[in-house]
């Protein structure tokens, strides 16, 4: 118990206590606390167990870079694992649990892994558990995955709503610290539209709670007045609690706003998170920098923290993480932490710095607080198990490195470490050339932009507040100018004395040669310095290999605190400089984002559009079982009381053949084809002839793909000399239109033809059965229905109860049948009129199942047969591929493989044992070779009321020569085997006598 609440400082509201639980225990914090600061104030040392070794881990940082303090928030359906404690705003009743421990955080049995330390090095699991076969790994993997890990999510449905929105602006500013605020002020006064984004609840970044003075006031006051100015401007949008996570083409950005994450439950009509797609003419990256740790034994002991994080906990949250604190730093900037601690009255015991000399301001800070200054020293080891107890300090000089002889121990309960700063170049690197190495800062800076952005402030290597303010103004004004605005100059506010971050000594590794104990590079993935050496020894030397072999930088923090040290160690091993070793490229997202935020509203019924036919309401009112067909809702069967689906479709199909039935076919694709070249165009698109199709007639046509395979079929009706109505299958409505448009644009631009989708404009229904003519004659106002006046394949325009309709005499069922097309708005009325008049003719509405039954009985092909692998010849439609003209597919349809006699051909199958034949079954020879060879498969199946048998269509090798053979339709997954006989696919009325009456 070392951390404690300081009596006065911080931006928290001490008049508003908030209660929360951590692992079931109740604690109290204040409004303005993060979960991390509140736990720290309550003296909670251990916040989690590490990924691999299950070592106790405490808080390490104060921001998104946190590698250790990952918790699971809330419970049941709102459970959210792997939340970084410093990024969690405290609220009343917050419920947090630690992760990766069993049975408890205090006693974790898996910590025994630590004893087996040397065994669990990089690649250990793969080397040990992967035998010569994959079997061993398959067995062990389950246990290994269980032992190593993060928090567990929930299987319950997320009850919250996520939404998405778009924004357009001139200048997007990512980061609202001193640089971002200044950039916004400079750009906004020019009138440019600004969106300023920051991942914290309160904007201001490093200025929040700072002891620096900016302008006339304390930094925090200046920051608030700047924000007041910005929020009053109509051309500025402030997006706090928002992270710009990805940089995409044409300056498009993905950002996630955590709208309600700081509340127990999202308020009414408020989403949990909001995804922003932002298009900006210019981006100013003001993303700041992340402090890096140093490598020494036990550098993961709870109590070892980043120096600037400690300053933030003191200045912003009024919490001290320890009672006796030491600093280990290689740069002057870290001495700000000493100053903040001294000002808050916290004891700083010692300051350890490998540099022989430090800056004058830094020195005076140390002298002022009475801490022991140990220049030319390093910390080689942190001692203490569940909490830091002491540090071991050893002399160091740049020439001879770390001396392991003269070490002394200093009792402390907290160590601030600083290895310098790593500019946050993530966003920039998503739209730039290779990162640039800066020798003075020992850091990578953004590379050459490939899109219009500029980086300013700490993320481009300016580490003092004064420099950030100046850079912000410059970047903001420049961005506004690039958007065509004329910003007038604004003055840089003066900044009080600050210790700047220059004079870094690029020391990464403070381990003495041969020193023992685990020294971590990647805290979140438990990658140690010796793992990096091992990777080098085993030949994984490129940064990409290093990353994948050791998993360094591959945790949820994506190596924000570890990448640089990993590169530095590898560079040292290889005897190269860091820029020679190179760096890996950062990819989106910058921080993990919820899949819910990406999905937005597109889930459940909103996942994709739902299409309903004009007669939909009637189907539903009649109790139809509706089914999804692509995006469409279609009636499957209209079940009567107590009927099964099978009983219903058999009744419907039987009644169609006995009297008359009506089915909704509005989902067919319908394309209006017009123009003087329309007939010639269709003649090139269809494999059969269309030039001589007379007006008032329809024709069934086949479309091939350019590669010669069959693509689509449908009827096309000639309405006039230059006007046709084409129909396509439901599934290909959109692709056929796009193809026709392509042909007219790219292949035959000289043709005078226009094509337009009219699929949604027409309601369509097929009326089929022996009494179809009588029924339609009873309802049509002005169309002669006799066989002579209205012959097979005829098309007529007329009226039904005054509603204009198109009627075509087509048959998919094999019965005397007509298709009636009416304007979509009249569809339901026309349907109802036919149903009402149909009572006298014993009409039945039938669904997709009966539609399928009727067409299978006739051997008509549909989607399951038009599967993209069949040719017209395969399906017995070879006669429709003209030899006297060129058309799409004609050049390639005679390729060797497409005319092979052994190809699978369409056949009919009849069940011989009264069992249904399952679609997808394979056709095999009975009692043949084992394992049996598949000769083909079943494509469509049904019970046939006309034949009173289960029948099916199938594709069978050399099928037409197998008529009469006995085969087995086998479905091994379900253990189904049905004896079938191969027959012609024309089961019923092969002469077509019924439809020509």
The residue behind tokens 């908030």 is: 18
> Which of positions 440-499 make contact with other proteins (CB under 8 A)?
450
Proportion of the chain in helix, strand, coil states, percent, rounded to 5: 25, 30, 45
The stretches of 939-990 forming alpha helices (DSSP H) are: none
Of 589, 416, 418, nearest in space to 507 by CA: 418
Q: Under the criterion CB under 8 A, does residue 279 sit at the interface with other proteins? A: yes
Q: Under the criterion CB under 8 A, does residue 249 sit at the interface with other proteins? A: yes
355 in the Ramachandran plot: left (φ > 0), alpha (ψ -120 to 50) or beta?
A: beta
Q: Under the criterion CB under 8 A, does residue 680 sit at the interface with other proteins? A: no
- E strands, 286-358, in order: 289-291, 304-306, 319-320, 324-329, 347-353
3-state DSSP of 221-233 = HHHHHHHHHHHHC
Q: Rounded CA gap, 550 and 543, in Å?
A: 11
- State the nearest-atom distance from the C-beta of 905 to other proteins, in Å: 24
Q: Which is nearer to other proteins, 102 or 742 (CB)?
A: 742
> Which of positions 955-994 make contact with other proteins (CB under 8 A)?
none
Q: Rounded CA gap, 412 and 347, in Å?
A: 10
Q: Which is nearer to other proteins, 167 or 599 (CB)?
A: 167
Total number of residues that touch other proteins (CB under 8 A): 35
- State the nearest-atom distance from the C-beta of 311 to other proteins, in Å: 35
Q: Which is nearer to other proteins, 227 or 310 (CB)?
A: 227
Q: Under the criterion CB under 8 A, does residue 274 sit at the interface with other proteins? A: no
- Per CB under 8 A, the list member of 225, 237, 658, 882 interacting with other proteins is 237
Q: Which is nearer to other proteins, 195 or 305 (CB)?
A: 195
- State the nearest-atom distance from the C-beta of 687 to other proteins, in Å: 13
CA dist list (Å): 632 to 610, 649, 666, 729: 6, 20, 10, 13
Q: Which is nearer to other proteins, 233 or 778 (CB)?
A: 233
Q: Under the criterion CB under 8 A, does residue 102 sit at the interface with other proteins? A: no
Q: Per-residue contact track with other proteins, 813 to 852, x per CB under 8 A?
A: ----------------------------------------
DSSP result, 561-619: TTHHHHHHHHHHHHT--HHHH--PPP-S-SS---HHHHHTT-SGGGSS--EE-TTHHHH
Q: Rounded CA gap, 552 and 548, in Å?
A: 7
Token pair listed for 647: 């009983």
Token pair listed for 516: 């023992």
On whether the CB atoms of residues 501 and 285 are closer than 8 A, the answer is: no
Q: Under the criterion CB under 8 A, does residue 761 sit at the interface with other proteins? A: no
Q: Rounded CA gap, 226 and 473, in Å?
A: 13
110: three-class secondary structure by DSSP: helix
- Per CB under 8 A, the list member of 21, 75, 166, 761 interacting with other proteins is 166
Stretch that binds other proteins, among 41-49, 375-383, 665-673, 739-747 (CB under 8 A): 739-747
Q: Under the criterion CB under 8 A, does residue 758 sit at the interface with other proteins? A: no
- State the nearest-atom distance from the C-beta of 631 to other proteins, in Å: 15
Q: Which is nearer to other proteins, 224 or 279 (CB)?
A: 279
Q: Rounded CA gap, 716 and 712, in Å?
A: 12
Q: Which is nearer to other proteins, 556 or 890 (CB)?
A: 890
Q: Rounded CA gap, 288 and 284, in Å?
A: 12
- State the nearest-atom distance from the C-beta of 610 to other proteins, in Å: 18
Q: Under the criterion CB under 8 A, does residue 234 sit at the interface with other proteins? A: yes
Q: Which is nearer to other proteins, 233 or 627 (CB)?
A: 233
Q: How many helices, marked H, and strands, marked E, lie in the chain?
A: 22, 53
Q: Which is nearer to other proteins, 247 or 520 (CB)?
A: 247
Stretch that binds other proteins, among 115-123, 231-239, 514-522, 651-659 (CB under 8 A): 231-239
- Per CB under 8 A, the list member of 625, 680, 741, 989 interacting with other proteins is 741
Could you say which DSSP state residue 90 is in?
P
- Per CB under 8 A, the list member of 101, 193, 518, 905 interacting with other proteins is 193
Stretch that binds other proteins, among 197-205, 247-255, 637-645, 823-831 (CB under 8 A): 247-255
Of 184, 156, 45, nearest in space to 106 by CA: 45
248: three-class secondary structure by DSSP: strand
Q: Under the criterion CB under 8 A, does residue 747 sit at the interface with other proteins? A: yes
Question: Cis (ω within 30 of 0) for the bond into 931?
Answer: yes
CA dist list (Å): 234 to 333, 640, 651, 816: 38, 63, 68, 70
Q: Rounded CA gap, 263 and 68, in Å?
A: 24
On whether the CB atoms of residues 192 and 451 are closer than 8 A, the answer is: no
Q: Under the criterion CB under 8 A, does residue 746 sit at the interface with other proteins? A: yes
Q: Under the criterion CB under 8 A, does residue 929 sit at the interface with other proteins? A: no
- Per CB under 8 A, the list member of 85, 90, 169, 227 interacting with other proteins is 169
> Which of positions 197-226 make contact with other proteins (CB under 8 A)?
none
- Per CB under 8 A, the list member of 28, 128, 225, 235 interacting with other proteins is 235
Q: Under the criterion CB under 8 A, does residue 31 sit at the interface with other proteins? A: no
- State the nearest-atom distance from the C-beta of 628 to other proteins, in Å: 22
- State the nearest-atom distance from the C-beta of 547 to other proteins, in Å: 24
- State the nearest-atom distance from the C-beta of 745 to other proteins, in Å: 3
In residues, how long is the chain?
997
On whether the CB atoms of residues 831 and 643 are closer than 8 A, the answer is: no
Q: Which residues lie closer than 8 Å to 326 by C-beta, 6 or more apart?
A: 348, 349, 350, 351, 352, 371, 379, 391, 410, 412, 414, 415, 416
Q: Rounded CA gap, 981 and 970, in Å?
A: 13
DSSP result, 692-706: TPPTTBEEEEEEE-T
Q: Under the criterion CB under 8 A, does residue 250 sit at the interface with other proteins? A: yes
Q: Which is nearer to other proteins, 250 or 913 (CB)?
A: 250
> Which of positions 251-270 make contact with other proteins (CB under 8 A)?
252
Stretch that binds other proteins, among 621-629, 741-749, 907-915, 970-978 (CB under 8 A): 741-749
Stretch that binds other proteins, among 102-110, 192-200, 542-550, 768-776 (CB under 8 A): 192-200
Q: Rounded CA gap, 747 and 745, in Å?
A: 6
Positive or negative CA dihedral for 976, 982, 985, 989?
Answer: negative
On whether the CB atoms of residues 240 and 227 are closer than 8 A, the answer is: no
- Per CB under 8 A, the list member of 744, 785, 817, 924 interacting with other proteins is 744
Q: Which is nearer to other proteins, 237 or 915 (CB)?
A: 237
Q: Rounded CA gap, 961 and 791, in Å?
A: 36
> Which of positions 881-920 make contact with other proteins (CB under 8 A)?
886, 890-892, 895
On whether the CB atoms of residues 437 and 579 are closer than 8 A, the answer is: yes
- State the nearest-atom distance from the C-beta of 320 to other proteins, in Å: 42
- Per CB under 8 A, the list member of 11, 31, 130, 167 interacting with other proteins is 167
Stretch that binds other proteins, among 65-73, 108-116, 233-241, 794-802 (CB under 8 A): 233-241
Q: Under the criterion CB under 8 A, does residue 742 sit at the interface with other proteins? A: yes
CA dist list (Å): 994 to 655, 706, 767, 771: 15, 36, 14, 11
Q: Under the criterion CB under 8 A, does residue 194 sit at the interface with other proteins? A: yes
Q: Under the criterion CB under 8 A, does residue 116 sit at the interface with other proteins? A: no
Terminal alpha carbon distance of the chain: 96
Q: Under the criterion CB under 8 A, does residue 642 sit at the interface with other proteins? A: no
- State the nearest-atom distance from the C-beta of 737 to other proteins, in Å: 8
Q: Under the criterion CB under 8 A, does residue 168 sit at the interface with other proteins? A: yes
Q: Which is nearer to other proteins, 399 or 691 (CB)?
A: 691
Could you say which DSSP state residue 157 is in?
P
Q: Which residues bind other proteins (CB under 8 A)?
A: 166-169, 193-195, 233-237, 248-250, 252, 279, 450, 706-707, 734, 738, 741-742, 744-747, 749-750, 886, 890-892, 895
């Amino acid at each position: 118990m070392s951390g404690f609440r300081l009596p006065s400082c911080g931006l928290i509201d001490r008049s508003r206590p908030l209660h929360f639980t951590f692992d079931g225990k109740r604690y109290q914090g204040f409004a303005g606390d993060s979960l991390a600061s509140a736990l720290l104030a309550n003296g909670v040392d251990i916040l989690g167990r590490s990924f691999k070794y299950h070592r106790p881990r405490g808080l390490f940082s104060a921001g998104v870079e946190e590698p250790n303090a990952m918790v699971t928030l809330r419970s049941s359906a709102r459970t959210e694992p792997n939340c970084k404690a410093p990024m969690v705003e405290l609220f009343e009743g917050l419920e947090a649990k630690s992760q990766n421990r069993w049975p408890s955080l205090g006693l974790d049995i898996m910590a025994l892994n630590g004893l087996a330390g040397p065994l669990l090095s990089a690649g250990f699991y793969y080397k040990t558990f992967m035998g010569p076969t994959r079997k061993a790994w398959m067995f062990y993997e389950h246990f290994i995955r269980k032992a190593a890990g993060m928090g567990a999510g929930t299987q319950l449905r997320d009850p919250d709503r996520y939404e998405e929105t778009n924004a357009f602006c001139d200048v997007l500013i990512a980061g609202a610290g001193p640089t971002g605020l200044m950039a916004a002020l400079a750009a906004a006064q020019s009138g440019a539209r600004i969106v300023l984004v920051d991942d914290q609840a309160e904007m201001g970044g490093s200025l929040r709670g700072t002891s620096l003075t900016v302008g006339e006031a304390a930094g925090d006051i200046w920051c608030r007045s700047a924000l007041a100015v910005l929020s009053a401007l109509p051309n500025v949008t402030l997006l706090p609690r928002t992270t710009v996570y990805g940089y995409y083409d044409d300056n498009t950005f993905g950002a996630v706003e955590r709208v309600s994450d700081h509340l127990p439950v999202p308020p009414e009509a408020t989403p949990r998170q909001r995804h922003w797609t932002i298009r900006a003419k210019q981006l100013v990256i003001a993303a700041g920098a992340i402090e890096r740790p140093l490598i020494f034994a036990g550098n993961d002991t709870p109590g070892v923290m980043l120096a600037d994080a400690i300053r933030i906990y003191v200045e912003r949250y009024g919490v001290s993480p320890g009672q006796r604190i030491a600093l280990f730093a290689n740069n002057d900037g870290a001495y700000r932490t000493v100053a903040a601690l001294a000002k808050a009255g916290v004891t700083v015991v010692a300051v350890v710095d490998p540099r022989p000399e430090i800056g004058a301001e830094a020195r005076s800070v140390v002298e002022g607080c009475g801490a022991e200054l140990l220049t030319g020293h390093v910390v080689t080891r942190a001692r203490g198990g569940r909490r830091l107890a002491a540090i071991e300090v050893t002399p160091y000089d740049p020439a001879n490195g770390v001396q392991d002889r003269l070490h002394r121990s200093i009792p402390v309960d907290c160590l601030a470490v600083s290895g310098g700063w790593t500019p946050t170049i993530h966003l920039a690197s998503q739209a730039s050339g290779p990162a640039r190495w800066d020798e003075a800062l020992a850091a990578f800076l953004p590379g050459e932009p490939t899109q219009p952005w500029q980086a300013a402030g700490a993320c481009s290597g300016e580490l003092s507040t004064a420099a950030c303010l100046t850079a912000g103004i410059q970047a903001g004004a420049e961005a506004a100018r690039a958007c065509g605005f004329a910003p007038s100059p604004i003055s840089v506010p003066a900044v009080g004395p600050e210790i700047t971050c220059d004079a870094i000594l690029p020391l990464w590794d403070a381990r003495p040669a041969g020193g023992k104990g685990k020294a971590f590079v990647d805290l979140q993935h438990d990658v140690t310095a010796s793992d990096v050496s091992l990777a080098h020894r085993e030949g994984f030397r490129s940064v990409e290999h290093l990353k994948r072999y050791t998993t360094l930088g591959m945790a949820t923090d994506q190596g924000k605190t570890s990448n640089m040290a990993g590169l530095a160690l590898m560079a040292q091993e290889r005897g190269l400089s860091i820029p020679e070793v190179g760096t890996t490229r950062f990819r989106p997202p910058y921080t993990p984002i919820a899949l819910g935020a990406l999905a937005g509203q597109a889930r459940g019924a909103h996942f994709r559009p739902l299409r309903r036919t004009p007669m939909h309401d009637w189907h539903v009112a009649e109790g139809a079982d509706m089914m999804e067909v692509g995006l469409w809702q279609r009636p499957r069967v209209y079940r009567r009381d107590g009927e099964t689906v099978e009983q219903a479709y058999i009744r419907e199909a039987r009644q169609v053949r006995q009297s008359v039935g009506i089915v909704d076919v509005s989902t067919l694709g319908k394309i209006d084809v017009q123009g003087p070249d329309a007939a010639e165009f269709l003649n090139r698109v269809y494999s059969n002839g269309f030039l001589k199709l007379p007006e008032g007639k329809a024709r069934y046509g086949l479309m091939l793909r350019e590669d010669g395979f069959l693509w689509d079929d449908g009827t096309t009706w000639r309405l006039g000399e230059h006007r046709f109505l084409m129909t396509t299958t439901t599934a290909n409505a959109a692709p056929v239109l796009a193809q026709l448009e392509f042909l007219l644009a790219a292949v035959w631009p000289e043709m005078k033809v226009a094509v337009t989708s009219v699929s949604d404009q027409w309601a369509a229904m097929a009326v089929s059965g022996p009494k179809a003519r009588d029924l339609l004659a009873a309802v049509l106002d002005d169309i002669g229905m006799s066989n002579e006046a209205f012959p097979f394949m005829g098309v007529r325009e007329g009226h039904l109860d005054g509603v204009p309709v198109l009627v075509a005499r087509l048959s998919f069922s094999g019965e005397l049948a007509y298709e009636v097309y009416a304007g979509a708005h009249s569809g339901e009325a026309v349907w109802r009129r036919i149903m009402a008049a149909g009572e006298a003719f014993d009409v039945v509405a039938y669904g997709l199942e009966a539609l399928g039954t009727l067409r299978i009985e006739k051997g008509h092909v549909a989607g399951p047969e038009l599967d993209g692998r069949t040719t017209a010849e395969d399906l017995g439609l070879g006669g429709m591929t003209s030899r006297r003209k060129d058309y799409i597919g004609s050049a390639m349809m005679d390729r060797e493989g497409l005319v092979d006699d052994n190809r699978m051909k369409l056949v009919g199958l009849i069940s011989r044992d009264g069992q249904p034949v399952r679609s997808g079954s394979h056709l095999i020879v009975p009692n043949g070779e084992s394992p049996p060879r598949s000769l083909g498969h079943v494509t469509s199946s049904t019970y046939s009321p006309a034949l009173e048998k289960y029948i099916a269509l199938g594709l069978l090798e050399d099928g037409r020569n197998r008529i009469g053979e006995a085969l087995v339709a086998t479905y091994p997954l379900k253990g189904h085997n049905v004896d079938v006989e191969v027959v012609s696919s024309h089961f019923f009325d092969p002469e077509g006598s019924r439809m020509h009456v």
